[in-house]
A and B are shown apart, each in its own frame.
Chain A
Amino acid sequence: MQQFLQQLWNGLAIGSVYALVAVGYTLVFGVLKFINFAHGSVLTVGAYIALYSVLRNWLPFPLAFGLSMSLSGVFSYLTEMYAYRPLREKGAPKLNLLITSIGVSLLVENSIVVFVSPDFHPFPRVLPSAPITMAGMRIPPVDLLLVAVGLVLMCSLSYFVNRTLAGLTIKAVALDRDAAALMGINTSKTISLTFFLAGIMASAAGVLIGMRFSVNPYLGGFFGLKSFAAAVVGGIGSVPGAYLGGYLIGMLETFGAAYISSNYKDAIAFVLLVFVLLYKPSGLLGKGTQEKV
């Protein structure tokens, strides 16, 4: 029982990371109907911004965290502006966007290796490292922060998208871009906003995962891919689906590692992905999509 609770908590922590990143894939897929494979690189950029702000003593940690989130939001917005928008305006097929996004992610990853550092950096200690003991569970403070930040950001995002007019425009553009334009919505602005929000969420995950493990150029590639699996498992295009998929993969992974074998840990997300695609291709909470003629 003790171990079960411990694993449950671990799963919740790592699941928060997947959920935060998965929701970005889902939001962007909603408005543009393509998978932004560069989304993971926003996570890496976010982790590095926070790392260097703290390492060089530029800013205290909370401010560095905030700075990382906003700058990563802007970075995500700029990738859309300079990499995808020109293609969209020329009416390029979706495949070109997809290939471009893979290009962007390679560019970011390798630029970090070349211009910053190829090393794995431990994050400076900003939180006490001694685990907190709670109901027999040993919880590292960073995990506590991860779960809390995850919950706050996810609830805020859901509130924003469902309850504010600016957020509703994201839903409107996702449902029918032309009809949204006919309401007077500047759809390009809405798409920019979507990328910005996706960037904020991913960078929060990036900073926290960097603290939990280490900051390295491949952070985004690794967590990005699993989070993408989470988004598809939950139903791409669905915000609650991304949360569910994220937590589900986080849980299965930690329980799999604890009770089956830790060797299979990284395979579990993709095994689940294969099963979901086989039996419910639209994802757990996704709506069956039909290609419009």
Chain B
Amino acid sequence: MLKIDKLNVYYGGIHALDDVSVEVNTGEIVTIIGANGAGKSTLLRTISGLVRATSGKVSFESRDIKRMSPHQVVESGIVHAPEGRRVFSELTVDQNLRLGAYLRKDREQMDEDLARVFQLFPRLEERRWQIAGTLSGGEQQMLCIGRALMSRPKLLLLDEPSMGLAPVLVQEIYREIEEIRKHTTILLVEQNAYQALKTADRGYVLETGRIVMEAPCRELLRNPEVKKAYLGK
């Protein structure tokens, strides 16, 4: 579905991604784990067109998307729920969700999707007319994911959905990710390696811009190096 081949990105003079190759197949959850500053977010930002790559290929459903601008990438079916939530803080929950469905033309289906998002995150329905900036961190994360789902992505890019959340909320968000995966392919970036590896099918380990390991998550969870570096065991 998504194929990234030998991608190189320079970011403010730093070689942020060095020959990175990643593949995501339809129906999978693939995770990329790595320390702070390893280049995980840069990778997602490059896929969604916010950052330009110097060389390499990014193709989605066999179409080259490397030179597309962000809104064209969304049109092609990839939606990025960015790090730090980035909800429109002065707009209501409802307006945020509507903006998420910006490219949708069919109103009926949009209402259907709104209902689906509210079913997934009942708390967003309770807070529908509230200003997004007044939501708690967990609710903002739900809004960020819900907003991304409103455009019915084929591939969802999730950047650090657990960041800054209490463990109970992390559990909740991940339960919802399990639910989302039934319809949507997911590329998940996480610092919380244990949670990500438990949820995903395959994982990549990114270290200072390079992929150093790629394996099914079951294997990564048992791998002594991964355990030592990322699972704190």
A residues at B contact (CB < 8 Å)? 165, 168-169, 171-172, 175-176, 178-187
B162 at the A/B interface (Cβ < 8 Å)?
no
Contact at A178–B99, with CB atoms within 8 Å?
Answer: no
The answer for the CA separation of A172 and B75 in the assembled complex, in Å, is: 18
Residues in A whose Cβ lies below 8 Å from that of B103:
184
The answer, among B75, B86, B87, B98, for a CB contact under 8 Å with A184, is: B75
B209 at the A/B interface (Cβ < 8 Å)?
no
Q: List 26 A-B contacts (CB under 8 A).
A: A165-B99, A165-B102, A168-B95, A168-B98, A169-B99, A169-B102, A171-B88, A171-B91, A172-B99, A175-B88, A175-B90, A176-B86, A176-B88, A178-B86, A179-B86, A179-B87, A181-B69, A181-B70, A182-B50, A182-B70, A182-B86, A183-B74, A184-B74, A184-B75, A186-B69, A187-B71
A-B contact count (CB 8 A): 66
B residues at A contact (CB < 8 Å)? 48-50, 69-71, 74-75, 79-80, 82, 86-91, 95, 98-100, 102-103, 147-148, 151
Residues in A whose Cβ lies below 8 Å from that of B49:
181
Contact at A182–B48, with CB atoms within 8 Å?
Answer: yes
Residues in B whose Cβ lies below 8 Å from that of A183:
74, 99-100, 102, 147, 151
Residues in B whose Cβ lies below 8 Å from that of A175:
88-91
Write the chain B residue with the least CB distance to A163: B95
Residues in B whose Cβ lies below 8 Å from that of A185:
71, 99, 102
Contact at A179–B151, with CB atoms within 8 Å?
Answer: no
Residues in A whose Cβ lies below 8 Å from that of B89:
175
Contact at A182–B98, with CB atoms within 8 Å?
Answer: no
> Smallest distance from the beta carbon of A125 to chain B beta carbons, Å?
46
> Smallest distance from the beta carbon of B155 to chain A beta carbons, Å?
13
Contact at A168–B91, with CB atoms within 8 Å?
Answer: yes
> Smallest distance from the beta carbon of B109 to chain A beta carbons, Å?
15
Residues in B whose Cβ lies below 8 Å from that of A187:
70-71
> Smallest distance from the beta carbon of B73 to chain A beta carbons, Å?
9
Residues in A whose Cβ lies below 8 Å from that of B91:
168, 171-172, 175
Residue among B69, B70, B90, B103 with the most chain A CB within 10 A?
A: B70
Q: Which 6 A-B pairs have the closest CB atoms?
A: A184-B74, A181-B70, A179-B86, A184-B103, A186-B71, A175-B88
Residues in A whose Cβ lies below 8 Å from that of B95:
168
Contact at B98–A165, with CB atoms within 8 Å?
Answer: yes
Write the chain B residue with the least CB distance to A188: B69
Q: A179-B86, A182-B79, A185-B71 are in contact. List 14 more A-B contacts (CB 8 A).
A: A168-B95, A168-B98, A175-B88, A178-B50, A178-B82, A179-B82, A179-B88, A182-B48, A182-B74, A183-B102, A184-B70, A184-B79, A184-B102, A187-B70
The answer for the CA separation of A156 and B74 in the assembled complex, in Å, is: 31
Contact at B99–A181, with CB atoms within 8 Å?
Answer: no
Residues in A whose Cβ lies below 8 Å from that of B100:
183
Residues in A whose Cβ lies below 8 Å from that of B82:
178-179, 182
Residues in B whose Cβ lies below 8 Å from that of A180:
88, 99
The answer for the CA separation of A169 and B79 in the assembled complex, in Å, is: 17
> Smallest distance from the beta carbon of A270 to chain B beta carbons, Å?
30
> Smallest distance from the beta carbon of B101 to chain A beta carbons, Å?
8
> Smallest distance from the beta carbon of B76 to chain A beta carbons, Å?
10
The answer for the CA separation of A181 and B91 in the assembled complex, in Å, is: 16
Contact at B88–A172, with CB atoms within 8 Å?
Answer: yes
Write the chain B residue with the least CB distance to A178: B50
Contact at A171–B147, with CB atoms within 8 Å?
Answer: no
> Smallest distance from the beta carbon of B189 to chain A beta carbons, Å?
14
Residue among A172, A182, A185, A186 with the most chain B CB within 10 A?
A: A182
